[in-house]
Amino acid sequence: MLQPATPTRTDMIKLHHLNKSRSKRIIWLLEELEVDYEIVAYQRNKDTFLAPDELKQVHQLGKSPVIEDDGLIVTESGAITDYLITKYGNGKFAPEAGTADYVDYQQWLHFAESSAILPLLLKMFVLKDGAKTQFLEGYADAETAKVISYFNDRLEGKRYLVGDTLTGADFMMSFIVEIVKNSGQLGHFKNLVKYDEQLQSHEKFHTANELEAKYD
């Protein structure tokens, strides 16, 4: 539950949020966990699209999301998701450790920020640059199609990625769905369309959208 940023409470999770970044899914997770937290918002440079130097005072790389909790600074979306669910989930949002579902769950946490995101970002950068490439454009297109088709296939007959219930895997992969949707390609993947609708059935998914818009 989002709390006012002032006065700051020492026992409250602090989320360092950069507009147009991957931290919306962390907002959604925090809302679902129903923990007290505050958002410290930062704005990208309108010309360079880079994060402000103030974020580097939190973490050397100046990336977002970053959370502060109990004296810890935690970076990387997958690690933050794992940390928050382990500490505050009370058995929700993750399968039981040691099970096959848990192995699958962990794979999705890593997949979201490695195999899935790399070709999508590469494709975005190639389009933004506009220069003719000898290799990258075709590679990005082929890898994007491969990754999204795999994602779509894994959702066949399923509402969620793991165990027919909302887990950290879904929080993480929601960003991939959003990129595909914003590119106008979602309609080509019937399972992703249904999955997107399932994610949107959660009230706090929309709360996260509203909060992201507030700080954009």
pLDDT digits 0-9 by tens, 117-158: 999 998 888 877 777 887 888 888 999 999 999 999 999 999
pLDDT value at residue 4 = 55
> For residue 52, is the peptide bond before it cis, meaning its omega torsion is within 30 degrees of 0?
no
* % residues pLDDT > 90 (the chain): 74
Domain boundaries, the chain: 13-92+204-214, 100-202
- Is 182 a residue whose pLDDT tops 90? yes
pLDDT digits 0-9 by tens, 38-89: 999 998 888 887 888 899 899 888 889 999 999 999 999 999 999 999 999 9
Does the domain made of 13-92+204-214 have the CATH classification 3.40.30.10?
yes
Segments in 34-157 forming alpha helices (H)? 77-88, 100-112, 117-129, 136-154
DSSP 160: S
Strand partners, 40: 16
**CB contact at 8 A, 2 and 26:** no
pLDDT value at residue 86 = 98
pLDDT value at residue 137 = 84
pLDDT value at residue 8 = 45
Does the domain made of 100-202 have the CATH classification 3.30.70.920?
no
Read off the pTM. 0.91
